[in-house]
Amino acid sequence: MKTLNFLLSLACFLGLSTTRAAGPDLTKESTTVLIGLGLMQVIEPKIPFFGSRAGAIISFLIKLALWYILMGWTDGIGSPYYWLMLLPVMSAVTSLGLVGLVAAVVLACGAYLSFLLYLPGGGPPFDDWPLLLLYLTTFPIAGFLTYELLEANRAATLRAQIAAEQLAEANRHLQEAEAQVRRTERLAALGQLSAGLAHEIRNPLSTIKGSAEMLLKNVDANGAVAHELAGFISTEVDRTNALVTRFLDFARPLALHLEKTEITEVIDEAVAQVEKHTPPLDVSIYKNYSPDIPPLLLDRQLIERVLYNLILNAAQASPAQSSVTVKTRQLGQTLEVSVIDRGTGIAPKDRESIFNPFFTTKSSGVGLGLAIVSKIVDEHGGQIDVESEPGAGSVFRVFLPVRDNGNQ
C-alpha cells in the first residue's frame, strides 16, 4: 500500500516534467492542481482519518474533483493527463475492495465521458471513437489488476501467517517433547539409583529390626529405658522400610493389569480414602462427572493411587473450609480428569520440577508422590500436566486414552 501510494505520487510529479512534450502548456492554476494531486497521494497514508472507509471515499472524491478540474483546464477530453485518473481508481481499490473498484471505475468513466458535452457536435469525430474507447478501458483494467495484486498479496500474507502459527505450534510441541524426554531420562537414572540403594538399605534394616526384637526379649523387665529405645529402633526401622518400599515402587517397572473400569467408581474410591485421612482435612470435595463416558481399560488400583495422591495434595494445599473439584470430560479418544483446588498454587520456577523424584515443597515430604503418579500415567499411555497461579490455586489434568478391547 505504501509503495503504491509512492509510485502514484511520483507519477503526478513526473507529469509536470512531461507537460511540454505531451500536450499544452500548464497554466499556473493547472500546475497547482497537479501538484495538489501528488500531495494528496503523499499525505493520505499519513492521516489516520483517510484509513477509514468514510475517509477513503472522501479522499477518492477529492482526487476525482482535482483530476476533473485539471482535465477541464488542459483541453478537456483531449487532455494528455486523462491517465492521472488511475490514481484515485487504484487508491479506491486498495481501501474499498471490489465494491470500491466498481464504483470508482463507473465514476471515472462517467466523469471522462462528460467532457463530450463540451465538444462541438456533442462528440468526437468518428475516427476518434476507437481511441476514446481504448482510454476508457484503461480504468477498469488498471483497477482490476490492482485488485488482483492486492488479493494475491493478502493470500500470501495469510499463508505466511498460518505457516508462522503452525511453526510456533510445532516449536511448542517440540519443547514439550524435549522436556518429556529430559524428565524420562532423569526418572530412568534416578530409578536405577533408587533401586540399588533400596536393596542395599533393606538388608541391614532386616538385621536391625531382628536385633531390636531379640533385645526386647532379653532385656530385664525393669529396664524401662532399654525397652523404650528398642521400641524406637523398631518403629524407625518400619518407617524407613516403608520409605524403601516407595523407592522400589518408583524404580521397578510397572506390570499393568488392565481391566474394563468405570472411572467414576475409581474417583469415588479415591475421594472416600481422602475423606478418611488422619488428621481430617477441613475441605469439601465436589465431583463433576461428564455423562456417557465409556468404561476404560486401565489398572484400577494404580489409577486410584494416582487420583488419591492428586486429590490429597489438592486438599492439603487448600485453606480450611475451601473446596476441591474433581471433573471429568471426554475429548475425542481421550479422557480428561481434572483436580482443581483454590490453594496456594505452585511457583513458576517449581512447575517443571514437581514431577521429578525427590523434589518436594513439603517440610516432611519425600518427593516421590508426583513422580510415581507421572510414571503410572505414562505407563497407561497418558499424560499429566498442571496449570497453577500462586495464591489462586492449581489444576492438575490427567489424560488417559479411551481404548476398546480390540486395542488391548
If one counts every other C-beta atom within 10 angstroms of the C-beta of residue 21, the result is 7
Residues 347 and 390 sit within 8 Å (Cβ to Cβ): yes
* pLDDT for the residue numbered 124: 59
C-alpha cell at 134: 481504448
**Banded pLDDT at 178 (limits 50, 70, 90):** confident
Residues 380 and 256 sit within 8 Å (Cβ to Cβ): yes
* pLDDT for the residue numbered 52: 81
> Which pLDDT tens digit goes with each residue over 296-328?
999 999 999 999 999 999 999 899 899 999 999
Query: Over 90: is that where the pLDDT of 60 sits?
Result: no
> Which pLDDT tens digit goes with each residue over 164-176?
999 999 998 888 7
Query: What DSSP string describes 88-133?
Result: HHHHHHHHHHHHHHHHHHHHHHHHHHGGGGGSGGGS--GGGHHHHH
Query: Over 90: is that where the pLDDT of 266 sits?
Result: yes
244-271 average pLDDT score = 83
Query: Over 80: is that where the pLDDT of 81 sits?
Result: no
Burial of residue 278, with CB atoms counted within 10 A of its CB: 0-12 exposed, 13-18 middle, 19 or more buried = exposed
* pLDDT for the residue numbered 406: 44
Lowest mean pLDDT segment, chosen from 156-165, 174-183, 206-215, 399-408: 399-408
Q: Which residues contact 374 (CB under 8 A, 6 or more apart)?
A: 183, 187, 355, 384
Burial of residue 117, with CB atoms counted within 10 A of its CB: 0-12 exposed, 13-18 middle, 19 or more buried = exposed
Prior bond of 295 cis (ω within 30°): no
Query: Over 80: is that where the pLDDT of 282 sits?
Result: yes
Q: Which residues contact 237 (CB under 8 A, 6 or more apart)?
A: 205, 208, 209, 212
**Banded pLDDT at 251 (limits 50, 70, 90):** low
Query: What DSSP string describes 196-245?
Result: HHHHHHHHHHHHHHHHHHHHHHHS-TT-HHHHHHHHHHHHHHHHHHHHHH
Give the span between the Cα atoms of 363 and 133, in whole angstroms.
90
Give the span between the Cα atoms of 319 and 249, in whole angstroms.
31
195-204 average pLDDT score = 72
* pLDDT for the residue numbered 285: 94
Pairing of strands 296-298, 259-261: antiparallel
If one counts every other C-beta atom within 10 angstroms of the C-beta of residue 337, the result is 24
> Which pLDDT tens digit goes with each residue over 65-78?
888 888 888 877 77
Residues 109 and 139 sit within 8 Å (Cβ to Cβ): yes
Query: Over 50: is that where the pLDDT of 405 sits?
Result: no
Query: Over 80: is that where the pLDDT of 289 sits?
Result: yes
* Side chain identity at residue 214, one-letter code: M
Residues 360 and 367 sit within 8 Å (Cβ to Cβ): yes
In percent, the amount of the chain with pLDDT more than 70 equals 81
- Cα–Cα nearest to 66, from 90, 104, 39, 44: 39
Query: Over 90: is that where the pLDDT of 229 sits?
Result: no
* pLDDT for the residue numbered 44: 76
What domains can you pick out in the chain, each with its CATH number? 2-124 (no CATH), 174-251 (1.10.287), 259-407 (3.30.565.10)
Burial of residue 133, with CB atoms counted within 10 A of its CB: 0-12 exposed, 13-18 middle, 19 or more buried = exposed
**Banded pLDDT at 35 (limits 50, 70, 90):** confident
Average pLDDT over all residues of the chain: 80
* pLDDT for the residue numbered 341: 94
Name which residue leads in pLDDT, 113 or 250: 113
- Helices 369-379 and 224-251 cross at an angle (nearest 10°) of 30
213-222 average pLDDT score = 73
* pLDDT for the residue numbered 363: 61
User: HSE (CB half, 13 Å, CA atoms) of 255?
Assistant: 0
Q: SS3 for 150?
A: helix
C-alpha cell at 45: 497514508
Helices (H) and strands (E) in the chain, counts: 10, 7
Query: Over 50: is that where the pLDDT of 49 sits?
Result: yes
Give the span between the Cα atoms of 159 and 371, in whole angstroms.
42
Q: Could you list the beta-strand ranges (E) of 110-212.
A: none
- Rounded (5°) CA angle 257-263-265: 100
Query: Over 70: is that where the pLDDT of 374 sits?
Result: yes
- Cα–Cα nearest to 42, from 81, 91, 80, 101: 91
127-146 average pLDDT score = 79
**Banded pLDDT at 13 (limits 50, 70, 90):** very low
